[in-house]
Every structure is written in structure tokens, then in C-alpha cells.
């Protein structure tokens, strides 16, 4: 598909370059990005190639900005007091890149979201879903899952999702910003491209992309296995991710359908008698419930606790 042309014009060249660098790191977005510090350069770009999206500082007078023609014009302001003209949209410039990108996606409307106009088309191999689970608590499951994700992310696009009742915001995960509850909310709207929306929600640990866990445990407990599988399917179809890691605990309703969706399942345990008893009960339950196929996909990892 043809890339969208995005121009950033700001007298603070460090700001323009940092914002452009953030956008260009989003390899799933179909943007050609240019920066400039002079309005005459913007007009030159307009003449040569046209401009789809323009981010321009409020430091440039309205009379100058109105000479520019673009599909959407975002006025970057540091104090929220910019005078905007017809068709201009004000954006606070000193928020995070994720928040500015989310603003762009929200303001461009359902037509763009439905048409996938921001997204590159990727030819992916079959997506691998990896489950991380344990009937034993406080065994380092999340640390193991994220370390595995970081390792796999060296060679593939990997998304980590924490599906635990209490994932530990402020521990492994930053507290601020959107989280898994927002992903579920967007998925329930059944509009737009979930892969595109994920670009505004995911956070990063090295090359690993992750979505912070829910803040309210009831948000997790109310989700059926059918809804989880639907969200997973949309992520598989609409995003760049080649591997999805699901970090799960007993807070998931009907966990077996989710485990069944995984091509491999890491089950963490320890050598002590109580841990082994819990693991044995879990394995016996799978046999009793007719989930021998899941049991065969389990890779046991003994942890030191």
C-alpha cells in the first residue's frame, strides 16, 4: 500500500527529530516522515509530494499555517492556549509519543481505522501462541515469561500479555498509560483495526512489546474464553506480531480453551513436595477432563524458590 506522508515542523529541531524517530520505530505504520523548522520548507514539500498529516508548532503564526494544505493539521502547543484556525486540531506537544499517536488515530476517524490506511501489510508465518502457567504461586512466572519474551524478540515481533488477576502494576510494569482493560474495550467496539490501536497502547522492554495488566481484577474475571479467543484472533490477523505470550493464572474463566490455543505451554514448578503435589493434581485434572492434548504440549520448568 502507498505510505502516508507525515510532516513535523517545529523550531525545536531536537523535538522534531525525537518525535520523528519515535514514529519511524513503529515499523507497522505506513508513514513517510519528514521534519523541518521553517514554514517555507513545509510549502516546498506540499508542492512536491503533498502532505497527509502535518504536526506544526503553534509558534508559527496562524496566517502562515493557513497557507498549508493537508488532510489533517495538528497544532503542537506547550501551554494549551494556541489560536487555531478552521480544520486545525490542537495537541499538547510535551506528552508521550504514544499519546500523540493515539490522538492522531482518534482524530482521523473510523474511515481510516476501517481502511487500515496507517498499517503496512506484512506477510507473516503462522503466529505462535505461547502459554505460561503454573498451579504453584510465587514461583517467578512473570519474570520467566518476560525474559523468554525478550529473548524471542531478538528475532521476531513478540507481544506479551499479562492475564493475571493481579499482574503487579508498578512492579514489572509501568503504572501510567493504557492497559489490557483498554484493549478489551476497543475489541468490544468491533470497529477499527485492533493491530493499529495496539501501537498506541503497547509499552516496551528492550525489543519486547507488552500490554500492562488490568488495574481492576473484576475486568479480567468477567471475560469469557470465547471473548479472549476472539481478541487473540484479531491480534493475529491485524497486527505485526509473530509470537504472542500469554501469562495466565486462575483468574481466567475457563482456562482450558486458552491453553488449547497455545502451541506450547511452559508450566513452572519447584522440587519441593508441596509444589510437586500441586503439579500432579493439575496433570491429573487435565486427564480427567479429557485434555490430554494440552498435557502433551506442556514443557515443565523447575524453578529455584
Indicate if 94 and 202 belong to the same structural domain: no
Give the cell for residue 285: 485434572
pLDDT in tens, 210-264: 998 988 888 888 899 999 999 999 998 888 899 999 999 988 888 999 999 999 9
Give the cell for residue 286: 487435565
Indicate if 84 and 186 belong to the same structural domain: no
pLDDT in tens, 67-121: 999 988 999 998 767 788 888 999 999 988 888 888 887 777 544 444 445 665 5
Alpha-carbon span 175 to 178, nearest angstrom: 9
Displacement of CA 66 from its chain's centroid (Å): 35
Beta bridge partners of 75: 56, 90
Asked if 228 and 129 count as a contact pair (C-beta separation under 8 A), the reply is: no
Total domains in the fold of the chain:
2
Can you tell me the mean pLDDT for 152-176?
Answer: 86
Nearest by Cα to 23 from 165, 146, 120, 125 = 120
Q: Tell me which H or E stretch contains 185.
A: helix 180-189
Structural domain contains residue 122: no
Question: What phi, psi does 207 have (nearest 5°)?
Answer: -90, -5
Indicate if 240 and 177 belong to the same structural domain: yes
Structural domain contains residue 253: yes
Q: What is the pLDDT of residue 57?
A: 94
Burial classification of residue 191, based on how many CB atoms lie within 10 Å of its CB (0-12 exposed, 13-18 middle, 19 or more buried): exposed
Nearest by Cα to 1 from 118, 99, 128 = 118
Distances from the Cα of 50 to the Cα of 47, 53, 62, 110, 113, angstroms:
6, 10, 20, 23, 21
Residue 176: band (very low, low, confident or very high) from pLDDT cuts 50, 70, 90 = confident
Alpha-carbon span 212 to 176, nearest angstrom: 9
The gap between the terminal CA atoms of the chain, to the nearest Å, is 51
Can you tell me the mean pLDDT for 189-208?
Answer: 82
Alpha-carbon span 266 to 272, nearest angstrom: 18
At 191, which CATH number?
3.40.50.300
Q: What is the pLDDT of residue 110?
A: 43
At 77, which CATH number?
3.40.50.10850
Nearest by Cα to 238 from 193, 291, 182, 173 = 193
Distances from the Cα of 60 to the Cα of 10, 11, 39, 42, 271, angstroms:
8, 9, 8, 12, 67
Indicate if 261 and 195 belong to the same structural domain: yes
Domain boundary among 87, 115, 143: 115
Structural domain contains residue 123: no
Nearest by Cα to 138 from 7, 292, 275, 36 = 275
Indicate if 102 and 133 belong to the same structural domain: no
Indicate if 201 and 158 belong to the same structural domain: yes
pLDDT in tens, 177-188: 788 998 998 888
Alpha-carbon span 233 to 142, nearest angstrom: 23
Indicate if 88 and 183 belong to the same structural domain: no
Asked if 114 and 102 count as a contact pair (C-beta separation under 8 A), the reply is: no
Write down the residue that cell numbers 531478538 correspond to: 154
Domain boundary among 53, 80, 115: 115
Indicate if 81 and 134 belong to the same structural domain: no
Q: For residue 169, give its domain range.
A: 128-302
Indicate if 197 and 278 belong to the same structural domain: yes
Domain boundary among 57, 85, 115: 115
Amino acid at each position: 500500500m502507498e505510505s502516508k506522508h507525515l510532516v513535523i515542523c517545529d523550531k525545536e529541531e531536537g523535538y522534531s527529530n525525537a518525535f520523528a524517530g519515535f514514529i519511524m520505530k513503529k515499523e507497522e505504520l505506513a508513514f513517510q516522515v519528514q521534519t523541518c523548522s521553517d514554514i517555507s520548507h513545509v510549502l516546498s514539500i506540499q508542492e512536491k509530494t503533498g502532505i497527509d498529516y502535518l504536526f506544526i508548532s503553534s509558534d508559527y503564526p496562524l496566517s502562515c499555517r493557513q497557507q498549508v494544505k493537508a488532510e489533517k493539521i495538528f497544532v503542537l502547543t506547550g501551554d494549551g492556549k494556541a489560536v487555531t484556525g478552521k480544520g486545525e486540531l490542537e495537541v499538547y506537544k510535551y506528552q508521550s509519543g504514544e499519546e500523540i499517536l493515539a490522538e492522531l488515530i482518534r482524530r482521523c476517524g473510523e474511515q481510516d481505522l476501517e481502511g487500515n490506511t496507517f498499517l503496512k501489510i506484512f506477510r507473516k508465518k503462522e503466529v505462535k501462541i505461547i502459554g505460561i502457567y503454573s498451579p504453584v504461586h510465587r514461583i517467578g512466572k512473570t519474570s520467566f515469561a518476560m525474559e523468554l519474551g525478550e529473548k524471542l524478540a531478538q528475532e521476531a515481533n513478540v507481544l506479551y500479555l499479562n492475564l493475571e488477576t493481579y499482574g503487579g502494576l508498578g512492579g514489572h510494569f509501568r503504572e501510567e498509560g493504557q492497559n489490557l482493560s483498554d484493549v478489551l474495550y476497543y475489541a468490544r467496539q468491533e470497529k477499527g483495526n485492533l493491530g493499529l490501536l495496539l501501537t498506541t497502547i503497547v509499552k516496551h522492554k528492550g525489543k519486547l512489546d507488552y500490554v500492562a495488566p488490568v488495574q481492576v481484577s473484576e475486568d479480567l474475571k468477567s471475560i469469557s474464553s470465547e471473548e479472549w479467543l476472539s481478541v487473540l484472533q484479531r491480534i493475529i490477523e491485524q497486527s505485526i506480531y509473530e509470537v504472542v505470550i500469554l501469562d495466565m493464572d486462575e483468574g481466567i474463566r475457563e482456562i482450558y480453551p486458552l491453553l488449547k490455543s497455545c502451541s506450547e505451554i511452559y508450566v513452572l514448578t519447584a522440587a519441593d513436595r508441596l509444589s510437586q503435589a500441586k503439579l500432579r493434581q493439575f496433570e491429573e485434572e487435565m486427564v480427567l477432563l479429557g485434555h490430554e492434548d494440552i498435557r502433551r504440549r506442556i514443557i515443565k520448568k523447575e524453578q529455584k524458590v
